[in-house]
Structure 1
Amino acid sequence: MKKYKFFSHVECEFFPCHKLEGSGLKKEDFNCLFCYCPLYALGKNCGGNFSVSESGVKDCTNCLLPHRKDNYEYIISKFREIVEVTKIVERMGDE
């Protein structure tokens, strides 16, 4: 494992920020590198285990995709899609 792909901030007051019981993810393997998931902006195309609240808000409480060591490459592979979403949003703001 390359060190730039993993960071665990065990002293954070929110660590771990997701329930680990029953997830198969050990506390020592919890990756904080993507603390705020960059895939959130992709909505239903993020690939994570999310739900949508009654008010229409994406709820990632049960998603550990960005916190698993082995998912670094997956997240990085989605950055082109994130850029495309950003371009669309910016164009909408210009109209």
Structure 2
Amino acid sequence: MRFAAAAAIFLSFACPVLAEDANLSDKPPAASPENQAESAAAPPEAVIGFGVSRPECQEWTDGCVICKRGADVVACSTPGIACQPVAPVCKDPAK
């Protein structure tokens, strides 16, 4: 029994692909490039919800994403890779 456990641990380090195939790795499966691109392009729901609930605000941010209200559309920037968002704030209230 000890040999099987030792072999499984060895294989997980020596052959990560085999460990992944045998479900010996404790890491979650890697996200596909398509999923990573979709999640990086979408602004967080808290930022979108902030603008929806405050129609008088023309520009708002959470420190990572900046959103601006246009004539009939809201446009938001893409967050940086290591950005840590804070509570959204209105930067440009309607005058």
Please classify the TM superposition score into its range, dividing by the shorter chain length: 0.3 to 0.5
Structure showing greater radius of gyration is: 2
Normalised TM-score (structure 1) = 0.32
Higher relative contact order (CA 8 A, sep 6+): 1
Normalised TM-score (structure 2) = 0.32
- Give the strand-richer structure, 1 or 2: 2
